[in-house]
Chains A and B, each alone.
Chain A
Amino acid sequence: MYGELLETCGYTSKEIDKELPRVKRALDKAGLTEADAKRAQDRLVRYFQCGELKGMRLLVGSWFKEFVDLMLSGEEHDIRIYCELPFLTPPLIAAAKLARPDIHTAYESFYLFFVLGAFFGRVERLIEAGENFCLPPGVAHCACNQLKMGVRRVNFLPRASLVVSTGLYCDEAPKADELLEYYFGERVAYINRCQDDEPGGPLIQERPLMYTRENIDRCRRTMSEVIGREITDDHLMQAIMCSEELSTAIEEITELRVKADPQPLRIVPYQLLVYGNLMSVNLDRHDEKMEMVRVLHGELQQMVKRGEGVIEKGTPKVVISVGTPLASPDYGMMIEDAGLNICCLESYGSGGALIDTGERRRQISAMDPCTILAAVYLTMPLVSNFRVRIECITNAYRKANLDGVLMIPHYSCRVLGNDSMMVKDGVKKELGNIPLLVLEGDYFDPRYYTAEQARTRVESFAEMVRSERRVAA
């Protein structure tokens, strides 16, 4: 059964022969059985289009390989650097591995949410372990934080030599990361920002930029100390350029998805693609990833040429803010089956690439790598401020000539939960009474919000959008 799962993950026969013992050890450590492997294989075909698209098999394979490496990192590496959610400057961590290739770097929570959650449907027990340990349910604790406590409490993963945490966006994550030091003795490096941007000022403002830059540089120095090698500007630039290369390649698929009708790639596999880049903290597989994007793009182009799709032609198109629940792929699929084509994410309105084209690129091209990372971070729609998010959604709506806006705030997140109501009002103010639906959801915890609960609202919304289309016609 494991061999079949690996085939679905795009492994070649040669790779299967070589990797099977490692994979078995990793799955065993994760408490996953052959029955789980069968379940994962079915889910990969059902939710991630792994049956028909080789590019998707390679993509899920790249995630799966990271997961296997993570599970075995205690046996295979002496130094481990984990970055914790919400962490959005992966090139910084990737640069550490360039400086010292024998260390292990991982975006630990995301690998677990996607692979253990979305692929295997088995992440709940780790969240519950965190709840039972120190972050109880019902008090607005995000599953990201509960999970990282849970994995340590039950010794699911080896201890980190260094955890990189960010208070740039979420205040709860660094508070929870203090507990990693307190309970498990793990060293934590924090990257902070100041939130007091000048209202109405330019997107990149000098003081927050320099403050964040200094925090990133300080983190670089801490990482250098932990790994015993200097992480140079060259390492950082190389990581940044790889990230940009991958972003640019993914951007072509984004453009294809926005225009294609019928839609050839569902939202769930597309999100896996986008997050695959955002979470790239290990450049060992960069070439593999570039090849995967090339294969996937080619397959999608062929489907478009043949007029093939997985969502019916003419289905109303919507932009989603921020995304569909990551650990519950059935939720995203239900929305599409109920009659909506989620053809782009909120970030599409910003250009979507990690380093945006145009003015912003010119602005930051002359900067040193830590400043570039700070600038990129501060200008990401989700992180910057709610006005930028409103602008992104309205840009996406107009640019892609959409039929509506769908919002699924991450309800256990204080930042996103609050922001989203302001964003909703702002979008309505900008675009008038366009069809806009807000659904409850949780990106990481599959237990609280189910697809069936939301079905009636999504179907009603789709009926409303189609009716508006008829009226407009």
Chain B
Amino acid sequence: MKNERRMSVAGIDVGAVSAKAVVLREDKIAGSAILPTGYDVAKVAKEVGGLALAQAQLQMDDLRYVVGTGYGRRAIPFANEVITEITCHARGATSVIPEARTIIDIGGQDSKAIRVDAKGNVVDFIMNDKCAAGTGRFLEVMSRALELSIEEFSSLSRMGPNPCKISSTCTVFAESEIVSLRAENKSREDIIAGLYRSIASRVGAMVKQIGCEDVVVFTGGVAKNKALLRALEEEIGHRILVPGEPQIMGALGAALIAARRNHCE
């Protein structure tokens, strides 16, 4: 047990919407956790790390190395190093699906397309972090406009046959468009289908810019949405794989980098 503790490391990914933690023991996932980010980044990092450690039956002192990532990465007080989420998502996704060459990550407030080489190194990426359209937050706002919970919204996997045209690329204006569409008695399913198309077209354009290469992997919490997955596949013309727990890929990648640093020391 003492030796195992020496080999324990963690990755903490504090995103704009949720904080994730992965604890690795001897390069295997020993614990993981997800919490809403909230206001206090340092506090949530500690809490989410604590939950993952509890699952792994370890304590903070047992960790040999911690890598922080995500928007809140620089506010994680116990991180030994900070790495961006782009590098971490690439590392996490390729550890689960080694054949991955293109990674799509849709997080709470940004979306990114990453191209990696056979060793999981990032060779190109693109990211939209100026506007919330095409992100998890976009879906949240739209579900509210449609009077659905995000869970209900996401579970509507059967899309309408006549997708509405949602022309706006701005979250706020898209919400107004939905109000207009509702006034025209368009069905929820058709509106949702239109929204998925809108996101798929936005994210698809980013993927095309970096050059889409098989195998394509979808990470981030939004990857659990099957209807969006299908819309994206249709848009980019490639089959897309989703890891078992897509939301923790950033934290996993951070933990894997931590493990490598620990081995090097």
Could you tell me which A residues sit within 8 Å of B by CB distance? 433, 435, 440, 453, 456-457, 459-461, 463-464, 467-468, 471
Contact = CB atoms under 8 A, between A and B. Distances in A.
Contact of B122 (A440, A453, A456, A464): A464
B127 interface: yes
A318 to B, nearest CB: 15
B123 A433 contact: yes
Contacts of B263: none
A127 to B, nearest CB: 20
Given A457-B86, A459-B84, A460-B87, 8 more contacts: A440-B130, A453-B130, A456-B129, A460-B86, A460-B127, A463-B84, A468-B121, A471-B119
Interface string B48-61: 00000000000000
A460 B84 contact: yes
Contacts of B121: 464, 467-468, 471
B123 A456 contact: no
B205 to A, nearest CB: 13
A456 B83 contact: no
Contacts of A471: 117, 119, 121
Given A464-B122, A467-B121, A471-B121, A456 B127 contact: yes
B261 to A, nearest CB: 14
B130 A464 contact: no
Contacts of A463: 83-84, 86-87, 122
A452 to B, nearest CB: 10
B15 to A, nearest CB: 11
A457 B127 contact: yes
Interface of B: 71, 83-87, 117, 119, 121-125, 127, 129-130
Contact of A456 (B85, B117, B124): B85
B120 to A, nearest CB: 10
Contacts of B123: 433, 464, 468
A433 B124 contact: yes
A468 to B, nearest CB: 7
Given A460-B84, A460-B87, A467 B122 contact: yes
Contacts of B129: 453, 456-457
Which of B84, B85, B119, B127 lies at the interface centre, i.e. has the most chain A CB atoms within 10 A of its CB? B84
List 4 A-B pairs, minimum CB-CB distance, nearest first: A460-B86, A460-B84, A464-B122, A459-B84
Contacts, number: 45
A414 B83 CA distance: 35
A337 to B, nearest CB: 12
A448 to B, nearest CB: 9
A136 B85 CA distance: 37
7 contacts: A456-B71, A460-B84, A460-B127, A463-B83, A463-B84, A464-B123, A468-B121
Contacts of A457: 86, 125, 127, 129
Contacts of B130: 440, 453
A460 B122 CA distance: 9
B87 A464 contact: yes
Contacts of A456: 71, 84-86, 127, 129
A464 B125 contact: yes
A428 to B, nearest CB: 10
A73 B131 CA distance: 44
Contact of A460 (B71, B117, B119, B125): B125
Nearest to B120: A467
A453 B71 CA distance: 10
A460 B71 CA distance: 12
A456 B85 CA distance: 8
A81 to B, nearest CB: 39
Nearest to A470: B121
A457 B111 CA distance: 12
Contacts of A461: 125
Contacts of B119: 471
B26 to A, nearest CB: 25
Which of A435, A456, A471 lies at the interface centre, i.e. has the most chain B CB atoms within 10 A of its CB? A456
Contacts of A433: 123-124
A433 B210 CA distance: 10
A164 B129 CA distance: 39
A467 B119 CA distance: 11
Contacts of B124: 433, 435, 464
B104 to A, nearest CB: 15
Nearest to B87: A463
A433 B124 CA distance: 9
B257 to A, nearest CB: 10
A463 to B, nearest CB: 5
A459 B124 CA distance: 13
A155 to B, nearest CB: 36
Nearest to B86: A460
Nearest to A458: B84
A134 B44 CA distance: 48
A449 to B, nearest CB: 8
A239 B106 CA distance: 56
A435 B124 CA distance: 7
Which of B83, B124, B127 lies at the interface centre, i.e. has the most chain A CB atoms within 10 A of its CB? B124
B95 to A, nearest CB: 16
